Structures are given as C-alpha cells and as structure tokens.
Structure 1
Amino acid sequence: MLVHICCAVDSHYFLQKLREDYPHEKLIGFFYDPNIHPYSEYRLRLLEVERSCRQLGIDLIEGPYDTEAWLEAVRGLENEPEKGRRCSICFDRRFEVSAAKAAEMGERSYTSTLLTSPKKSLQQLRREGERLAAEYGLKFVAPDYRKASGTQEQNRLAKEARLYRQDYCGCLYGLNIQRDQQQKLADELFSPVSGQIQPESIEERLALYEKRIELEERGVAYRIVRERFLNWRLLSGLLKVKGRPTPAHILPYSTLKRGYTRGKIAERIGPLSYLNRDEVRLLTLQEYQKRLGRKIGSLTELIFAPPSFEEELAIRRSLCDGPYDLGTLLVVDEIPDGKIELRLESHTFEDVRERLILMSAAEEK
C-alpha cells in the first residue's frame, strides 16, 4: 500500500495504526508535498518524516518538489480560507500524483496521512480519494483514526518521539492569512539577501533538527527546550550622505522609531560616532573588524556575507551599555561629515524558539 505522507506528526501515528489494521500489507511512504513553503520548511518536514520512517521501519520515497505547477494550479485562490477551494485543489493534486505513483509501482491501494489531520474534512478527502482510485484502478483506504481519542493519541506519540511540530499547514497563502489573523509577522517567509541565518527562522530550526539526528546516531543524550525571547527582523534600510546612497551594514536589533531620520554627526565617543538625533550611531568597518577578531575584505562583503547573527550580537553588546538597547548601529567605510538621511524599517516582537541542550553538559552544571 502506498501511503502519501504530509508530515511526521500525522504519519507517525497513522502508519502505526495502518500496520495494526493491515498486517499483511507492505507499507511504502510517499512524501509528495509541493504545497509546503518555503523550501527550507519542506526540507525540515521531510527530515522528520525520514526519521520517523526509520524508527518505524517504513520505506520512504520522495516525490518531486514541483512547486511551480502547484502555484499555477491554485492561481486565483490565494485568499481562500482554510478548507476552502484552494485546499481542495491542493489535496486533489497530491492525491492524483500519489494514485499515479501507486499505479506505476503496481500497488493495489493507496491512502494518505491527510485523513488524520484535524484541519481537513474527512468526507471531502474520502470522496476525492475514491474518485481517483477508480480512475487508476486502485482501492482508496480511508480509515477514521481521529475517533475514539485518536487525535489525543496522535499527539502523545508525536511528543514521545520528540517530533518537529509545525504550526501552519504548509503553503504561503495559508501562512499569511493565519499570521494576519494572529496579528503576527510571517517571518517564516523572510530570507535575508545576505543569507545570514536569523533567530527562530526555519533555517535555524533545520540546523537544530539536523544536529539532533547527528546526536541520536552517536547515542548522545539531549533535550529540546523552548524559550521566550525578543526577536528582530530587518525589512529594509537606506543610508544617504549628501543626498547620495551610501553603503552601510545594519547590525541586529537596530530600530528607528518613525522609520526615517536625518541629521549630522554631533560627536564621537570611543569607537562610536553619534547622530544628533534618534539614537543613531555609526562605526567604521575597521573598528568592526577589531571587535570581530578577523579581517573582512570590504563593506560590500560584510553586507552580502556577514558573520553569524550570534557574532554580530556579541559585537553589538560590546558597543552598547546593557542588553535592552534597540538604537540603530551602522557600519560604514568612513564616518561622513555631511548631511545624513536614514530610512530603516525593522520589526521587533516577542517570540519562542527551540534550543538543543546536551544532557551531559547540563548535568555537569
């Protein structure tokens, strides 16, 4: 039986129930989810499905990430609500590709872990699954594993297996609608031009869960804990000196109250030069390199290939008096002596991140 898999939280429970109910069937997982955006989130969910299937002894096939075809299929339905027409087309497409794959492999039946998702209509899924099964000469297996406290058992098993638990269905449209309703920034869709990994970004989570797998393979005990913190995202920035755009690198946690200011350098104290308004400070690339402890080729290199976020945060802390400073810090080649204009749009917000702790290190403390 080919089993279309949407995520590890659903599949870990669903596959175990299927094995109990169909003991003579060889189950083959099929991860086909071009609806998952961005790609780093897709990689993270696939990583967890691979881990779950290894634990359960289930073979897994990865389908194509044909996201452009998916986007074309749902064109015009971007603002549809959850369980609306966009979602119908989304799982219809995944069912069709899964049914075609099952027929290609010579399987007699197929099913999907979407059936156990509480966000999906079971009747709608069954109807479409059976239609495609008839078209491809298959049987669509559609058990209801939500009933009899199934959803609670699914959550228990996911927690026991320490699975990554995503907090949105998958696509960028649903994510934007969900974040708008929550009045939150859809920072999952942010990817800096510099490529720097941001705190509580999907890329940071992906690195954490890759590290977790490495630790498990080595037999190292660990825990993943959650912590609340102040997060930050840079949306845009532009520095002008005497009316001309001037290269500048913006350090993490820089904010500007009204998003725009102008003035002149009023004084220099130590490594910092102070604008005469709005808590804006500048330092030279030379001074930045001293605090970083290594040389950077140019300001352009710093802008497009900066050190890690943690390294830059350490530089900021070395320059600011206390951990609560949110004033703007800019790195420039030379401190300007003319009129300065600055546009800066950034966003600070309460957030929760996961942190991996090695138990041996924690016990030593």
Structure 2
Amino acid sequence: MLVHICCSVDSHFFLQKLAQAYPSERLEAFFYDPNIHPFSEYQLRLLDVQRSCEHLGIILHVGEYNYTGWLEAVRGFENEPEKGKRCAICFDNRLEATAQKALELGEKIITTTLLTSPKKSLAQLEEALASIAQKYGLESLAPDFRKKGGTQEQFALAKESMLYHQDYCGCLFALRVQREQQDRLADELSFPLRPQTLPSSIEERIELYEKVRALEAQKVPFKLVREKFLNYRLLRAWVKKDAEVMPSYVLFYSTCKKEHVKTHVEFIAQGVGYLAKEEARFISLQMFNQKANTGYKCVKEMLQNPPSVAVELRVRNAFKSFECASLSPLVVLDTIEIKSYELFIQSKTYPDIRENLVLIR
C-alpha cells in the first residue's frame, strides 16, 4: 500500500492506525505536496515527515516540488473557499502522482493522510481516491480515523512526539484568506530585507527541527516549549540626506507612528544622533561596532552580511534608559551630522508564538 503524506501531524497518527487496522499490508509513504508555499515551508514539513517516518520505520519516497504545475492546475480557482473546487483539483493533482508512483513501485492500493485532517472533506477525498485509483487500475482505501475521538488522539500524539504543527493547510490562497480573517500579518509570504533569520520565521523553525532531529539521533532528552512574544517585521525603510538615499541599517523593533518624517539631528553625544521627531536616534557605525563587538567597515557591508537579531537586540538594550521594551527607531549610519534628514520606516509589530528547545539534564 502506498500512502500519500501531507504532513507529519497527520501521517504519524494515520500510519500507526493503518498498521493496526491492516497488519498484513506493507506500508510505504509518498510525500508529494507541490501546493505548499513557500518552498521553505515545504522543506520544513518534509523534514518533519522524514523524522516521523524514521521513528515508525516506514520507507519514504519524495516526489517533485512541481509548484508551477500545481499553479496551472488550479488556475481560475484561486478564490474558491476551503473544501471547494480548488481543493478537489488539488486532491486530484496529488493523488494522481501517488497512483503513478504506486504503479512504479508495484503497489496495488493507494490512500492519503489527508483523510485525518479536520479541515478536509472526507467525502471529497474518498471520491477523489476512488476515481484516481480506478483510472490507474488500483484499489483505494479511505478509512475514517477521525471518529470516536480520533482527532483528539491524533493531536495528543503529535504533541507527545513534538511534531511540527503548522497552522495553515499549505497553499498560498488558503493562507492569504486565513491571515485576513485573523487580521494577522502573513509573514510567511514575505522575505527578509536582509539575509537574516528572523524570530518565528520558517527558517528559524527549520533550524530548530534540524536540532531536534540531531538530538533524537544522539538520544539526548529535550522538550519543546512555546512562548508568547512581540514579533517584528521591517517591510521597507530608507534615510535621505540632501534628497539622496544613503546607506542605513534599521535595527529590530524600530517603529514609527508616521512612516515618513522630515526631521533633523538636534545634537550628537557619544556616537548617537538624537532626532527631533519620532524619538528616533542615529547610531554611528563606529558606535555600533563598539557595542556589538563587530568590525563592519561600512553600512553597505552590514546590509550584505547582517548581524543576528540577538546582536541587534543587545545593541538596542544598550541604549535603553529604562527597563521596558523600546520601540524607538534606531538607525545605523556610516557617519552622523547636525543636518536635516528624511526618515521612512514601514514596519509591523504583532503578538506571536515561537518554540524553544529545552535540554533535560
């Protein structure tokens, strides 16, 4: 039997239930999900599926990430609701590839872990499975493991196994609608202005789950714990002097009430220029290097090879005058003058949750 896999939370539960219900069947898995966006999210989900299959001793086959092909398949159905026509096309797209892989491997039966997802229509999936299986001369299987508390059992198992629990189906269109309904920034659809790993980003999660996989291989006990925090994304920023844009580096948590202000440096003290508006400050590169223990030769170099967010926050904390968190704009310039400047900062701060790794000694 070839089992199409969508994510580890579904597959970890589904594969174990399937093995119990059909003990004589040899199970192999097939990860084929070109609908997942962005590609980094695809990599993250694949990473955790590989981890799950290793735990369960299941052979995993990985299909092609044919995102452009998937986009063509759902063209014209971008605005369909969840469980609508776009989902039906998406199921057919993934299950057809599963059937083709089953024939290649010599398997006779196909099924999918999508059947356990509470966001998916069981009837829609059962119909898609039967239709695709008939087309390729295969059998289909659509067990309902959700009933009798199955969904609660599934999520409890995922929590116990510390699996990556994504909070959206996977596709661009469903994500956009979901974030609009939540009135939340769709930060999955943006990329850092600078090559930097941001808090609670997909890239940070990939690093985390790579560590998780390594610790499990070394049999080091650990726990994943969640924490609430104030997240931040810089969307666009620049500084102008004499109507010319100059190299500038905006530190994490820099927020302006008015995105665009014309102001001036009132005075300079110890490498810091204090602006007349937005409680903003310019920090000379020399002062930043001193506080951060870095050796940047110019701001352009800093933009190309940025410090970590942890270093930026350490520098920010060095300029705080009291203990509360600071959102004042801090901008690094090569040099600072007592002159007029234009400052533009477009950013978002929002409540978020991230996972941390805790080693158990």
- State the TM bucket, normalised to the shorter chain: over 0.9
Is the 1:267–1:273 Cα contact (8 Å) retained in structure 2?
yes
Offset, 1:171: 1.1
Shift of 1:122: 0.9
State the distance in 1 between where 2:76 and 2:342 align. Answer: 41
Establish whether residue 211 from structure 1 lines up as the match of residue 211 from structure 2.
Answer: yes
The SS at the match of 1:264 is strand
Cα distance in 2 for residues equivalent to 1:78 and 1:317: 45
Would you say 1:34 and 2:34 are equivalent positions? yes
Q: Which residue of 1 aligns with 2:360?
A: 359
Gapped regions of structure 2 (runs ≥ 5):
none
- Find the counterpart in structure 2 of residue 129 from structure 1: 129
Question: What is the one-letter code of the residue matched to 2:199?
Answer: P
Aligned to 1:343, the other structure's residue is in SS state: strand
1:249–1:331 CA contact under 8 A, matched in 2: yes
- Residue 277 of structure 2 corresponds to 277
1:238 is displaced (CA, Å) by: 1.6
Q: Which whole-Å CA distance do the structure 2 matches of 1:19 and 1:112 have between them?
A: 14
CA contact (8 A) 2:193 2:234 kept: no
Q: Which residue of 2 aligns with 1:184?
A: 184
Q: Would you say the 8 A contact 1:193–1:304 is kept in 2?
A: no
Higher mean alpha-carbon deviation, 77-86 vs 339-348, is at 77-86
| Whole-angstrom distance in 1 between the partners of 2:136 and 2:297 | 60
Match of 1:363? none
Query: Aligned partners of 1:215 and 1:105: how far apart in 2?
Result: 33
Give how far 1:75 is off.
2.1
1:110-189 matches, within 5 Å, as 110-189=110-189
| Alignment partners' CA distance in 1, 2:75 and 2:19 | 38
1:334 to 2:335 alignment:
yes
Partners of 2:3 and 2:342 lie apart in 1 by 58
Deviations 1:277-300 (Å, cap 9, x if unpaired)?
Answer: 111110111211111212124211
Does the CA-based 8 Å contact 1:265-1:336 persist in structure 2?
A: yes
Q: Which residue of 2 aligns with 1:76?
A: 76
In 1, the alpha carbon distance for the partners of 2:280 and 2:210 equals: 39
1:267 counterpart = 2:267: yes
User: Would you say the 8 A contact 1:237–1:343 is kept in 2?
Assistant: yes
Q: TM-score, normalised by structure 2?
A: 0.97
Counterparts of 2:281 and 2:228 in 1: how far apart (Å)?
28
Amino acid at match of 1:91: F
Whole-angstrom distance in 2 between the partners of 1:326 and 1:86: 42
The residue number in structure 2 matching 1:100 is 100
Structure 1: how far apart are the matches of 2:106 and 2:274? 72
State the 1:66 CA deviation: 0.9
CA RMSD of aligned residues (A): 1.2
TM-score normalised per structure 1: 0.96
Distance across 2 between alignment mates of 1:61 and 1:297: 48
Q: Which residue of 1 aligns with 2:238?
A: 238
SS in 1 for 2:195: coil
Gaps of 5+ in 1: 361-365
Counting only pairs closer than 5 Å after superposition, residues 292-311 of structure 1 correspond to structure 2 as 292-311=292-311
Q: Which secondary structure state, in structure 2, belongs to the residue aligned with residue 216 of structure 1?
A: helix
Deviation at 1:358, TM superposition (A): 1.1
Give the SS at the match of 1:267: strand
Counterpart residue number, 2:52: 52
Native 8 Å contact 2:233 2:348 kept in 1? yes
